[in-house]
Structure 1
Amino acid sequence: MMNCYCGSGKPYEVCCQPYITGSMVAPTAEALMRSRYSAYVVADINYLMNSHHPSTRPTKERKSILRWTKSVQWIKLEVKNTIAGNINDPEGWVVFIAYLSDGGKIETIHENSRFVKENGKWYYISGEHQ
């Protein structure tokens, strides 16, 4: 078994994969954020769309997002801070840095992501670049 892309140190099969395949629901905002990072790595556009809140879901950009995520090499994820977003919270924020290589150039995405929980399920709603 290989380690999960999200950097948790757990095997992918018991970390993010169950959320991406839909066999489990991410219990926290951070778990959803980590699974969304892993979904970018494996280019699972369906999970990225479904885990994005319907009010802000970039449906029209679906093809360009998929093209972009396949065109870069994902290096690693660092979770810097989590505020709320626990099992019983209605919302939460996760600050992270994602490292990627685009055409051989190392780039970072540093974001404070907002998540909301509706009907027992976490959704990514928006991100503020840091």
Structure 2
Amino acid sequence: MSLLSGIHHIAIICSDYERSKTFYTQVLGMQIVREVYREERRSWKLDLALGTQYVIELFSFPEPPPRPSRPEAQGLRHLAFTVQDVDTAVAQLQASGVTPEPIRVDPYTGKRFTFFTDPDGLPLELYEI
């Protein structure tokens, strides 16, 4: 029997809360579950969902240190989202001013995918199912 039963959420610390909130809600279309300002930490916490699945906790903190993420730094490499049609998703990103990398094909699965970044440079992937 596995110790784990699923992934509960992914936590992201952003440098500009309003910019990231707009990106994740208006550009990527995630729904706000809860938004809380934590006075004692001078920090916003935004809970986001895709449909009915709770997915991301978006945090702001005063002056968070930058984290190196490229090229191939240790730690979380990227966050991948599934899409039905990668071409349609890329067109929607481009219409919002986001420039994804060229679409590639996974040599092992034959599935199409692309990468782009959030406002802080966090690498995100769209993977066609």
Q: What TM-score, normalized to structure 1?
A: 0.29
Identify, as 1 or 2, the structure richer in helix: 1
Give the greater-gyration-radius structure (CA): 2
Q: What TM-score, normalized to structure 2?
A: 0.29
